[in-house]
């Protein structure tokens, strides 16, 4: 197969997992924020599992073509949280945790398909779609836990920093987006991301095959 054909096949196989991963991630942020006392996401129509509600056109295109992108951030107002620090930490963790749980669920579906669906084109297609979905969810989880603004990991880190360091980090937060882009496109982060992703994938694999 030529390069274009391979690209189209990979695109078809990856789109379901990509849309599911991003949608659940953003929904989880908004849902937990709502439970913690902030209805902003609900008022803005973001407590939805409709991918359209969360997709950023340019960010989605970048994800599909360059494997680095984003969805529309869910609007959050921390001042509405009943416990501000706990709210920020819980909401920040919600996205990555939801991706891990989704990857685990997809892993069990993968195991069921592998064991019970008869051999054929349908089985091969489902196996590949599920494999992409699992890898994408784990990748999104690990990437968002990196403690570099504007990723979720940085919001968690900042809640445990002394006030003076937290203020300093907030004051230069806008520059970290450029740093993050450089780290991604130069591949500096790749070994770290690959290491942790492989460990999580192996863990999911062991859990799934304990059942199947």
- Compute the distance between CA of residue 130 and CA of residue 136 in angstroms, rounded to an integer: 10
Nearest to 40 by CA among 73, 70, 71: 73
**In terms of DSSP H, where are the helices of the chain?**
3-35, 40-43, 57-66, 84-116, 121-144, 152-158, 163-171, 173-185, 190-211
As to burial, measured by CB atoms within 10 angstroms (0-12 exposed, 13-18 middle, 19+ buried), residue 130 is buried
Active site residue 159: no
**Residues belonging to the active site:** 26
């Amino acid at each position: 197969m030529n390069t274009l054909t391979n690209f189209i096949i990979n695109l078809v196989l990856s789109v379901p997992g990509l849309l599911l991963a991003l949608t659940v991630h953003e929904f989880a942020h908004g849902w937990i924020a709502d439970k913690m006392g902030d209805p902003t996401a609900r008022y803005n129509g973001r407590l939805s599992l409709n991918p359209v509600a969360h997709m950023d056109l340019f960010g989605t295109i970048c994800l599909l073509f360059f494997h680095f992108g984003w969805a529309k951030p869910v609007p959050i107002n921390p001042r509405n949280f009943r416990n501000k620090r706990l709210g920020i930490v819980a909401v920040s963790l919600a996205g990555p945790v939801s991706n891990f749980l989704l990857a685990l669920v997809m892993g069990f579906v993968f195991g069921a398909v592998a064991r019970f669906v008869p051999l054929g084109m349908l089985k091969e297609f489902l196996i590949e779609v599920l494999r992409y979905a699992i890898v994408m969810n784990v990748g999104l989880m690990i990437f968002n836990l990196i403690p570099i603004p504007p990723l979720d990991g940085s919001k968690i880190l900042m809640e445990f920093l002394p006030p003076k360091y937290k203020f300093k980090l907030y004051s230069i937060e806008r520059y970290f987006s450029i740093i993050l882009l450089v780290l991604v496109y130069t591949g500096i982060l790749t070994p770290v991301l690959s290491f942790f992703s492989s460990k999580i994938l192996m863990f999911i694999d062991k859990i799934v095959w304990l059942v199947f």
